[in-house]
Structure 1
Amino acid sequence: MKNKNRDFITVKAEDGVEKHYTVEALFDMEDQTYALLESDDETVLMRVENENGEQYLVGLNNPEERNSILEAYQIAVEASQTGDLH
């Protein structure tokens, strides 16, 4: 079963439309926390923001930032699978 032991989240877009995602990963990079979310038809990377004790998700609008973070995440995943992560 693919989603066994996974967390689920509902994201409400600015237009009020709700979409359900599986939390594939939460990770820290460059003093920021990111969430990799997956639905039936898309995978989304969002930044986790903290304000007044509340957490919320912010979309990454800059393609260079998104690609850079995804590349670094993929390198870390591959390194951890081969035991090269120090």
Structure 2
Amino acid sequence: MRHNEPRDYVTIEDEQGNQKEFAVEALFDIEDKSYALLRSEDETIVMRVEGEEGDQYLVGITDPEESEAILDAYQIAVENAPVE
């Protein structure tokens, strides 16, 4: 999955123990919470970033409605961001 552009990659393990590599597409904050937008070859997911600077970890979002709302808010922010 690695592309030529520089990116950070993380490996996520699901409940069944399957591991999958994701590229970190974006890090963003919504309502005082931090999130990571992760993309693999066939999937895009959002995870919450927990912990303090230097000791952070990703937490899965189990509610599909919450995940969809976060993705929608991110998309709106990207669409309305000023072009530099």
CA RMSD between the two structures:
2.0
How far does the alpha carbon of each residue in 1:17-64 deviate from its partner, in whole angstroms, 9 at most, with x for none?
Answer: 22101001010111111011011111111111117x632211111122
Equivalents in 1 of 2:37, 2:4: separation in Å? 14
Which portions of structure 1, spanning 4 or more consecutive aligned residues, are displaced by more than 6 angstroms? none
Q: CA deviation at 1:65?
A: 1.2
5+ residue gaps, structure 2, are: none
Aligned residue in 1 for 2:26: 25
Which of 1 and 2 has higher RCO (CA within 8 Å, sep 6+)? 2
Aligned residue in 2 for 1:62: 63
Q: CA deviation at 1:13?
A: 2.5
Amino acid at match of 2:36: A
Instruction: Give the structure-1-normalised TM-score.
Output: 0.79
Report 1:48-59 matches (<5 A): 48-50=49-51, 54-59=55-60
Aligned residue in 1 for 2:79: 78
Aligned-residue identity in percent: 57
Instruction: Give the structure-2-normalised TM-score.
Output: 0.80
The alignment of Structure 1 onto Structure 2 pairs a total of residues equal to 80
